[in-house]
Amino acid sequence: MLEIKHLTKAYERVILKDVCLSFKEKGLYVITGQSGCGKSTLLNMIGGLDSNYQGIIEMDGRDIQTIPRYIQKYVGFIFQQFHLIEEMSVKENETLISYFKRIFSAKKEILLSQLKLKNLQSYKTKLLSGGQKQRIAIYRGFIANHPVVLCDEPTGALDVKNSEEVFKTLKELAKEKLVIVISHDEKLASKYHDYLYEIKNQQIHLVHQNKIKETITAKEKTTKKSFFQFLLKDFKLCWKSHFIVIQVLFIALLSIMLTLSLTNSTNKQIQAQLEKIIPSTTIMLKKKNNEMLTQKDLQNIHHKEITYRFLQNDDVEFLGISPLKKYQTNKTLYISDYIQKPKYKIQGKEIGNDQEIILARSTYEQLIYLTKQKSLMNQEVYLFFDYQNEVKSYPVKIVGIEEKETVMETLYLKEFAFNHYLQELYQLEQGHTAFLQVKNKKAMKILKEKYPIYQFKLANSSLSSTIDKKFKQIEIIFLGFSSLSIITACFLLGFVLYLMVIKRKKYFAILQTLGASLKQVCFIALFQGLIISGVAFFEAFLVLNQLFVLANTLIKESISNLMDNFFIVSYEMMGVMFIVVLIFTLLCSMVPIKKVKEIEIIEALKG
């Protein structure tokens, strides 16, 4: 099973020279010798902790240096200094190995009773005596499904009574596994060994051999816990030390989330209100030669998507609407939007002729408030126009109210009614600009091809692109400042992870002796960074959501129901930001992970 072939080990001098030794599958092998003769060195080489030697150590006919995850598959350790995790409870230390190796679940209760550990499960490990700690280490060494247990001075830190107990336990457990013990205690070694060896003059010599009764061990069921469960337990173990880092990163992430979300939400709301005032389905047109347009020109433009036409003379100013025949500024409501067709439900009736108009609900209520009237439905009101400083009015009747709140005061007319008013009042039949309302803005492409003498463009395109450009500039400025806090937080994260690796070198070394692979240990360090970033990100995300809920409630109370939610969290943008945060975390974790890879297990265990 385990065989050493021509093994030579040297430091400044040769410690072991051309050593050859075979071990059986079961039994208690005790190796003695003077201090510095190479006992612990031999054990470290057999355990795969030290690979700097000449010769071959074989397990099941294979060189152990070629066996992937050798410790996890074959070897358990019991150390003189126990190497338990002091911050964990007894139970947590016992189960630690089950995250990296398969354990004999059926033997658990038997072994706990045998080692007298049942009543200590909830105790903190740091409160235990040396003998109790060593029994936990023994439990860990024998509960796992590995065929070899290596014990380096397991009684070195114990009194006589506890030392005797440990050897008794090892002798009993050696009936099922190969147990190799390094010991200075020649009395106990002589009393309990199956095979007694001594290292002397760079060689290992058989001193005595007892007859071993061969036993056949039935194959037992094994279980293994999830490595992800261990990652969560590990974070719980050190979350207090990460709390401040999480809060610093939280503030940095919240600031950049606010920056992105505020600029994005404000831009979207302005675009949404612009869409209500000048829909993207409104096409503006002029003649390419800058000639004036007529009503006939518009009537000759045909497309099934066109629903409304409006001709505007830029020399005429529309002053607004009032119930008074004579123009008075303080009694006249200025109308900003009058080039569209109603889209929503109407209280009253549809427009039947040029003398009938419909007002948006908010505009009608504003006109009532301005004029102190109780009702203006089906009453005559006046539209006022100014052309070359000559103000004239045109009588119309309010026949309907559109059930719609609008940001700007809105009035609806019959198609070409505005043009007819100007013909009657000022004998103006032409206009500079026309507007076409269409069902789908894609119709503009066909109109351009069909009517090349006209210049077509979306009515809100110039203003929309200008707003986008300005907000992008604002966003870049804010992002610049916010990025400084992110970079600072990331440097802090990387520094904290680096210090964590330095502080926990022994901890990582212990995990590797329990069967954790180098990749797993590196991932433990990386996971610390990922979970710090993740917790900070989701904390910032939740706070952002609550801030926006509060802000939207206050805005709704102040401006009624003109808009649903002013501030909106973009989940797509948050998703992209989360990916960026993870990438930053990966970059920050590179140096700590490199430090983990450089850990020398033997040296770290001495720390």
**Percent of the chain topping pLDDT 70:** 94
DSSP state of 561: T
Average pLDDT over residues 500-507: 91
pLDDT given for residue 442 in this prediction: 87
Most confidently predicted of 113-122, 269-278, 470-479: 113-122
* 399 pLDDT more than 80: yes
Judge whether 393 and 383 are in contact, CB under 8 Å: yes
- Per-residue pLDDT for 472 more than 80? no
pLDDT for the residue numbered 241: 81
Once rounded to an integer, what is the mean pLDDT over residues 213-222?
Answer: 70
pLDDT at 471 over 70: no
Average pLDDT over the chain, rounded to an integer: 88
The mean pLDDT value for 566-584 works out to 86
* Banded pLDDT at 31 (limits 50, 70, 90): very high
Name the band, by pLDDT with cuts 50, 70 and 90, for residue 160.
confident
- With a cut of 80, say whether residue 218 has pLDDT above it: no
Query: Among the listed ranges 187-201, 273-287, 384-398, which one has the minimum average pLDDT value?
Result: 273-287
Contact between 180 and 32 (Cβ < 8 Å): no
- 560, pLDDT greater than 60: no
Q: Kindly list the distances between the CA atom of residue 471 and the CA atoms of 357, 547, 587, in Å, as whole numbers in the listed order.
A: 37, 22, 31
- pLDDT at residue 475 in the model: 66
Amino acid 44: pLDDT: 94
The pLDDT of 183-200, averaged and rounded, is: 92
Dihedral angle sign, alpha carbons of residues 112, 137, 193, 178 = positive
Question: What was the pLDDT predicted at 562?
Answer: 52
State the average pLDDT over residues 459-472: 69
Q: Please say whether the beta carbons of 180 and 3 come within 8 A.
A: no
Quote the strand ranges of 172-305, DSSP E. 178-182, 195-200, 203-209, 222-223, 282-287, 293-294
Predicted confidence band at 35 (pLDDT cuts at 50, 70, 90)? confident
pTM: 0.69
Pairing label, strands 430-431, 293-294:
antiparallel
Domains of the chain: 2-225 (3.40.50.300), 231-275+466-606 (no CATH), 279-312+428-459 (3.30.70), 316-426 (no CATH)
Q: Reading across the β-sheet that carries 178-182, which strands appear in turn?
A: 75-79, 148-152, 178-182, 27-32, 195-200, 203-209
pLDDT tens, residue by residue, 5-18: 999 999 889 999 99
